[in-house]
Structures are given as C-alpha cells and as structure tokens.
Amino acid sequence: MGHEFNDSPVLAKITALRPRNSAGLIHSFAAFGLLMGGLWLAHAGNRWAWLAGQMLLAVAFLQAFVLLHEAGHGSLFSSRRLNRVVGHLAGFVALIPFWSWQRIHHRHHRYTGWQDLDATTASLVPRPLGDAERYLVNFAWAAWLPLFVLSYRIQNYWHLPRVERYLQHPRDKFSVRINLAALTAGYAALLWYFGPKEVLGAVWLGLLLSFMIQELLILSQHTHVPQNVSDGRPVRLFPPVEQGQFTRSLRLPRWLSAFLLHFDAHELHHMYPSVPGYRLREIPVESGNEVSWWRWVIAAKRLPATDFFFSNWNNTGVRL
C-alpha cells in the first residue's frame, strides 16, 4: 500500500477530511434519542416494552462508547469545547471517564505495535497462567460473558494507580482524579435518588448486551495479531501510516458501519487518526487485514480464550 502515501492528490484529499460540527451533532443527538427512548420504554410497565427498551439501550450504550472514542481524538466536532462536553457525557453513559480514556488511548496510538508498552494490550503479553485463571477466561469466552470488556474498563480507566503510572504531568493526574471522583459521585447520586433496584432493573440487560458487542469489537482490533514486545529495551515507535500491520478491520454491513462512525475500519483509523470516523471510508486506501465480521466471530470463538488472547496467528496457525 506504500504507493498511496506518496500520491499528492490522495494526501490532499485525506488532509481535507476534517470534522464537522453538524455531523457530530447529528450522531450525538441520535445516541441521546436512543438512550431516552430506551429508558422511557424500560419504565412503560409492559414486559415487551421493557425488552424493546433494552434493545435500544444496548445500541445507545454502544454508540456512547463510539462517541467517546471519537471525541477523545478531537475528531467528532471541529469545536474543541464540543468534543470535551460530549466526550464527558458519552463517558458517563459508557462508564468510562473521559480524561483517563483520552490519555490512555493516546498512549495506545503512540505505542501501537509494542504490546507491553501499550497500556491497553500490556495485560495480554504472553505469560504463564494459573489453572484458575485459565479456566475462568476460557469459560467466560466460551459462554459469551463479557469478562474482558469489564477488565478492560477497570484496569485501563478506573484503576487509578495503574492509570497514573502512564501519566507524567501532575496536571493530567489531577484531571483524571477529578474525573473519576465526579463520575463516582454521579453514579452514587443516581443510585441514591432512584434506588439501586430501579436503576439496575431499567438498564441491566441493555448494558450486558452492549458489553457483549463491545467486547467483540474491541478484541477484533488488535488481539491475535502479531505484535512486538520490548522487554524493557529502547524501541522505535511506528508512525501512524505503518500501524495498519498491527491491527485488524471488520467488514460490517455498510449501514451499520456508517451508524457506528466506521468504528470497524480500524486500520484506516490507526493510519489516519485525525480523520473523523464518519469520514474514514472516504479514504482511497485499501485495508490489508480486513475480514468479514461474521467470519471473524466464528473463527475467534472456536479458539480457546488462552490461545486467542495470549498468542497470535504466527503461533497458532489460525489467521483471523
């Protein structure tokens, strides 16, 4: 794919793919409408309405995660303030603090290709596993229980001592602490005012379904793809245009890909991280590691979690 990078017309077209406030507002209001509609149906007092509400909530929680990702890059809106406001709101709904997300995700892009230096993949560096851990991860993966996505949230964005290990500036540490405290207070206020039974009863299935989908989307992006391990040595960082080799893209139906701001086009996102997700498919560059989402899910679920998580296709011989 190297010839595209020296093609001036192509580079000019990619450079012109900038965020638009109108597009960001459309996607944000769509997610907000789904959330409000799901909550209204969940309280309609009818079993079928509640179930329909859970389907809407599952989509809303997923969309909040996508908006958080986009706002964290500053590419949802052209306005920096709007990116921050919607990023914090989306983070609240997605159960991920915006400041810790933004800083950890920035490190993820900086160290893509170096598994032990990337905070989001460091826990998957090959290592000996105890019998209990091996059984737990294999069982959860086979049973479609989103254990990974829960661990992903807690370790990478809520575990303050771990998050702070990746932060160098005192201002960043202060912002993350304030953000975690504010979200914790917000969730506590909701549970106190409405009651835990009321809150959890209204959203638990939608949240579970959303986590199940998010787990597949997140794991599709870098897991089981060959990565480097630094082992503490100085490393050469891979520039964005070289990072496609370390990631994978799914091929969702076009309408679904567009709705999710092309979150499935992960190679293009790493190669051109400043391009808004809703404009990624306008980039005239082919993805080398793109696979049908259904084919990937079937193949990934056939592998034990210990092989899928802690190995790659060079070792297992299974090219996902």
The per-residue pLDDT for range 163-185, each reduced to its tens digit, is 999 998 999 999 999 999 999 99
Residue 160: both structure tokens together = 């303050």
pLDDT category at 6 given cuts 50, 70, 90 is: low
Give yes or no for residue 10 having a pLDDT over 90. Answer: no
Give yes or no for residue 2 having a pLDDT over 60. Answer: no
Q: Which one, of 57, 214, 97, lies nearest residue 84 by Cα?
A: 97
**pLDDT value at residue 11:** 78
pLDDT category at 83 given cuts 50, 70, 90 is: very high
**pLDDT value at residue 45:** 86
pLDDT category at 287 given cuts 50, 70, 90 is: confident
pLDDT category at 234 given cuts 50, 70, 90 is: very high
Tell me the backbone φ, ψ of residue 263, rounded to 5 degrees.
-65, -20
Give yes or no for residue 5 having a pLDDT over 80. Answer: no
pLDDT category at 132 given cuts 50, 70, 90 is: very high
pLDDT category at 248 given cuts 50, 70, 90 is: very high
Q: What's the rounded mean pLDDT across residues 118-139? A: 95
Give yes or no for residue 285 having a pLDDT over 80. Answer: yes
Instruction: Judge contact between 249 and 225, C-beta under 8 A.
Output: no
**pLDDT value at residue 77:** 98
In the chain, the percentage of residues whose pLDDT exceeds 70 is 97
At CB < 8 A and 24+ separation, what contacts does 170-175 make? 172/99, 172/103, 175/99
Q: What's the rounded mean pLDDT across residues 292-311? A: 96
Give yes or no for residue 41 having a pLDDT over 50. Answer: yes
Spatial distance between the Cα atoms of 250 and 266, rounded to a whole number of angstroms: 8
Spatial distance between the Cα atoms of 250 and 7, rounded to a whole number of angstroms: 26
Spatial distance between the Cα atoms of 133 and 310, rounded to a whole number of angstroms: 12
Question: Residue 261: which residues within 8 A CB-CB, separation 6 or more?
Answer: 27, 66, 67, 70, 276, 277, 278, 280
**Model-level pTM?**
0.94
SS3 290: strand
Residue 79: both structure tokens together = 């306005």
SS3 250: strand
Angle at which helix 47-72 crosses helix 80-94, to 10 degrees, equals: 140
Give yes or no for residue 12 having a pLDDT over 90. Answer: no
pLDDT category at 8 given cuts 50, 70, 90 is: low
Spatial distance between the Cα atoms of 159 and 180, rounded to a whole number of angstroms: 10
Give yes or no for residue 142 having a pLDDT over 60. Answer: yes
**Residue 224 identity (one-letter amino acid):** H
In the chain, the percentage of residues whose pLDDT exceeds 90 is 92
Q: What is the total residue count of the chain?
A: 320
